Amino acid sequence: MTLLSRKADYALLILQYLHSNGTGNAREIAEKFQLSRAFVANILKELGAKGYVTSTRGVKGGYVLARASTAVTLAELLEALEEGFKLTVCNDHAPEGNCEVEHICPVKQPMTEIHRRLMEVLQGITLADVFLPAGLDRPVLQTLGFRRPVPVDSMV
């Protein structure tokens, strides 16, 4: 089980590519990450419809970020792509009747609180934080208790 869908995962790859390169098209992004061109094109289309990228047609056309990566949080992006990112089917924002045992469930409230805290963390992380080059410190993640990974060769 993963918390991010394949679409959200690939959307992050695509947005990182555009962040790093300034522009791109479905073909070059698909080639870079060895993904289906049609899938990349569909994700770009959705990102455009939701205001994360803009496109221009023509030979020199392509996609660019519509907003600065410092202005988009992971929470916002996931909410937009997942149409309501949630940890469980019975969080506070879910419609009643999503679960047969919801009315007697002993873990509904704790899971709702975990979801709230997770969203709070994701609201504090921007795409710019995620897109920092590998090896650089990520101050936002460090303030959340994440440590920089130890290189494998230094573990000997």
- Considering only CA atoms, give the Rg of the chain: 18
Predicted local distance difference test score (pLDDT) of residue 82: 86
Please say if the pLDDT value at position 152 is more than 60: no
Query: Which span out of 69-78, 87-96, 115-124, 144-153 was modeled with the highest average pLDDT?
Result: 69-78
CB 51 within 8 A of CB 41: no
How distant, in Å, are the alpha carbons of 8, 118, 138 from that of 53? 15, 26, 24
Percent of the chain with pLDDT over 70: 78
First to last CA, the chain: 32
Please say if the pLDDT value at position 125 is more than 50: yes
C-alpha–C-alpha distance, residues 48 and 32, integer Å: 20
- Higher pLDDT: 35 or 104? It is 35
Please say if the pLDDT value at position 74 is more than 80: yes
Predicted local distance difference test score (pLDDT) of residue 155: 45
C-alpha–C-alpha distance, residues 55 and 64, integer Å: 6
Predicted local distance difference test score (pLDDT) of residue 151: 47
Domain locations along the chain: 6-65, 71-142
Predicted local distance difference test score (pLDDT) of residue 96: 61
**CATH class held by domain 6-65:** mainly alpha
Torsion of CA 49, 44, 24, 125, to 10 degrees: 80
Predicted local distance difference test score (pLDDT) of residue 156: 43
